[in-house]
Amino acid sequence: MYRINRLGRNVLITADEVKYHAPCDSSVSERNIIQNIILAEERYITEAIGDDFYYDFIDKKNRMVTTSNQNDLLDKINESLESYGLRNIEKKELPIGILVNAIEFVDNEYYVQLWGNFLWKLTAECVDAMSTVTNWVKHTNQGQMLNAPKVIGTTAEANSADPKDIKFKMDHSVLDRINPFKQRMEEWICKRIQNYPLYNKECGKCNSQMDDYYRDKPTIKAQKSDIVLGVYN
């Protein structure tokens, strides 16, 4: 998936990649997503795979537009956009110096496997979780405003969530989705650690007795929430 990276620095994921794998509406604006990508990656992903691995991955997945590669990248972006039913961009929308992000740039097959199996989904979930509050309450010229203020007579679809709904979603996102999936990814990497030399987290007994290892270190085992109806009332 070739996409323009408008953040001015290398990152793992783009807005369209977030929409593809996150539990969000496809109509969410690009800006509402990209403002949370750097924060989500630096908070969650660097902790999950380590600084060296993270920065090596994003260096591989991003490429700066130059006079020599501009036309080729433009063609690749438009081919990718067409395959997803999106509009093509013009050359003026791909200026020299802007970044392009694509997993196709990554020539390490093990990185690509990790991306497809875990890292794409995990990063998208982290960005969505980080976007929850900022997409609910907006900093506007009039101050802090609900994204869709409640008005008597509006439909339920137009209403913003209550604070307890936001709290519930945040807890569910982190405890029931992100943490268990991150743990599963770490176990998967540890069983293939020879393919990921930059992964420097402690793996424990990578190829056997993984459950015993986590039992000895309960703080490492991912926490999961207990769904209790009415707890957020």
pLDDT band with cut points at 50, 70 and 90 for residue 214: very low
Q: What is the pLDDT of residue 21?
A: 80
Single pTM value for the model: 0.76
DSSP per residue, 99-159: EEE-GGG---HHHHHHIIIIIHHHHHHHHHHHHHHHHHEEEETTEEEESS---TT--GGGS
∠ Cα 225 138 10 (to 5°): 75
Q: Is residue 222, in this structure, part of any structural domain at all?
A: no
Q: Is residue 230, in this structure, part of any structural domain at all?
A: no
Q: Is residue 121, in this structure, part of any structural domain at all?
A: yes
Q: What is the pLDDT of residue 166?
A: 58
- Indicate the residue type of 215: R
Q: pLDDT by residue (tens digit) across 117-167? A: 999 999 999 998 887 756 555 545 555 555 665 444 444 555 555 666 656
Q: Is residue 127, in this structure, part of any structural domain at all?
A: yes
Separation of alpha carbons 124 and 15, rounded Å: 9
Q: Residue written as tokens 């709290």?
A: 167
Which of 184, 77, 67, 68 is closest to 125 using CA atoms?
Answer: 184
Mean pLDDT of the chain: 80
Q: Is residue 228, in this structure, part of any structural domain at all?
A: no
∠ Cα 50 52 53 (to 5°): 70
Q: Is residue 87, in this structure, part of any structural domain at all?
A: yes
Residues ≥6 apart with Cβ < 8 Å to 62:
5, 10, 11, 99, 100, 101, 105
Q: Give the chain's domain count.
A: 1
189, with CB counted inside 10 A (0-12, 13-18, 19+), is buried
Per-residue pLDDT averaged across 168-197, rounded? 84
Q: Is residue 208, in this structure, part of any structural domain at all?
A: yes
- Its domain, for residue 176, covers 3-216
Residue 201 DSSP label = S
Q: pLDDT by residue (tens digit) across 16-60? A: 999 998 766 666 778 788 889 999 999 999 999 999 999 999 999
Q: Is residue 19, in this structure, part of any structural domain at all?
A: yes
